[in-house]
Each structure stands twice: as C-alpha cells, then as structure tokens.
Amino acid sequence: MTSGTLIRQARTRSGLSQAELSERSGKDRAQIARWERDVVTPSLETLRELLQACGFDLEMTLVLYQPPDPGDEAELQRALERTPQERLQAMLKARGG
Amino acid sequence: MAEHFDPYEVLQTLERHRVTYVVIGGLGRVIHGSTELTDGIDIVPSTREENLRRLGLALDELNARHSDGKALALERDLVGRGVLELHSDAGELKIVPEPAGTRGYDDLRRRAVREPLGQGLRPSVASADDHARMLAVLGREQDRPALQTMQRVIELERSLRRGLYIER
C-alpha cells in the first residue's frame, strides 16, 4: 500500500473530490493529485492530516518484516519482463487452455 | 481449472457490441503481472442505460446465464446485487457495477490503461493501484497473496519508472 493509494482510498470512501479535500485540509489541490499519483510522497504528519480530513486516522504498528519468497519474486520479475499479451497467454497455457 | 475459458472471445464480443467497461479481478491482475490462474473475467461496466443495453446484447451472444440456468434480465438482475455471477459459453463472467472501495466505472476508468492483448484487442484494465485498493478494502484473508503481489508489482513498476531496480 502506498501513501497515494491510502489517500485516494480515504478520499473516495468519504465521497470527497480532490477539490473538496483541498478545501477541508488546506492543502493545494494539485499537490493532492501528485500525492495520490505517488509522484511525490507526503510526510507522515501530512498523510495523517489528509486522512483525518477524510474522516479516517492512521494506525501504525510495528510488525516483523517478512521478505518476499525468492522464488515468487523471481517469477514475478520474469512476468513483468513480458508484455501484457504474453502474460495472458502464459496464464492460459498454465491452466491448460 | 476444468471449465472452458476463452477471454479473447468474451472481450471480442464486448468490443463488437461497443460496450464500455474496465477489466478487474484475477484477469486484470494477471495482465499486470500476477502469476495466479483464473477461470473467468470480471468487468465493471458503465451503468449508462445505452451501455447496459449493449452489454445485454453481448451477454446474449455469449449465452450468459445464471448458475441455476435462469435466463438473464440484466437491468433487473443488477439491482441490489454487488456482483452478478454468470456462466457463458466462453467461461465465467462477473459483472461488478461498483467494486468495493470504488465508485464504479467512472472512478476506475481514469487510471485504467488500455493493454494490448493480441487479436486487435486493447481492453481497459484497472490500474495496479486500483486492484490493490479493491483487495485491501475487502480485507479478506484469501486475498492476501494477491494483494501482496499487486503491492510488489506497484513497487517494481515504480522503481522501473524511476530507473531503479529493487534488489533483494
């Protein structure tokens, strides 16, 4: 989950437009759009302010880090090197279709 | 994974009837790079009246029906349902007017990308971010692997765009 996804999720769940969130939070609308697209990343404090303006809060706890399985990671990286067409055809082949 | 599934036939039929929609779900994730397997296609149609009429024609052509064999009456069947699950001659088909955490077609189409899949098809596929958002909102344990994969796809795509590659 990226900060941009979190902001967009909170905003859409509260039924706000970017302009309305801008008005509520006092942040520039264009900057909100950049945060949502993850072009730039807000500070943790700003992220929390934005979520609170949407009626949500950010609850953070430390959890043990579980690195991705190296086999799954290699498979995913190979898939990303393929075109969307190749990915679809590989899936159809794998399911025997 | 025994049921016949031909996503090309479904997508070509939707295109032929000029239906506007966004692909989501397992097939959308596969197109983004997930290596999961899927038996069907999930779409979010525009719910404008004319588009639903076109979708109805496409579903007729695909011989789409309820699992109990009941005939389909699209507009009636969509009322009050989160997901319309159908079987067709080309495989499973789910019609999802408003996926969890989204406001439906108009919300998803803005970040959706037209992905070339061959046979002249370039359907609109919901962004990896939106796929992750939908799974996160559902909060189901069964979706955790798919969610982790989408989050990793987002990270890898972002690093590639920045000219970096995350080494593990």
Tell me the residue range of the domain where B13 lies.
7-127
What does the pLDDT average to over A75-86? 92
DSSP state of B60: H
**Cα dist. A51→A9, B44, B93, B99 in Å?**
9, 27, 35, 21
CA distance B130 to B150: 9
Confidence of residue B158 (pLDDT cuts 50, 70, 90): confident
CATH number at residue B54: 3.30.460.40
Determine, yes or no, domain membership for B12.
yes
Asked if the Cβ–Cβ distance from A84 to B117 is below 8 Å, we say: yes
Domains of chain A: 3-53 (1.10.260.40)
Taking CB atoms and an 8 Å cutoff, what residues of chain A touch B129?
Answer: 2, 4-5, 8
Q: What's the confidence (pLDDT) of residue B164?
A: 52
Taking CB atoms and an 8 Å cutoff, what residues of chain B touch A97?
Answer: 4-6
Determine, yes or no, domain membership for B13.
yes
Taking CA–CA distances from A75, the nearest residue in chain B reads: B35
Taking each helix axis as running N to C, give the angle between helix A84-94 and helix B25-32, from 0 to 180 degrees, rounded to the nearest 10: 120
User: Would the pLDDT of A97 be above 70?
Assistant: no
ipTM, 2 dp? 0.88
Determine, yes or no, domain membership for B143.
no
pLDDT in tens, A1-17: 778 888 988 998 899 99
CA distance B21 to B124: 7
Asked if the Cβ–Cβ distance from B133 to A9 is below 8 Å, we say: yes
What is the tally of structural domains in chain B?
1
Determine, yes or no, domain membership for B146.
no
Range scoring the smallest mean pLDDT among A43-57, B114-128, B152-166: B152-166
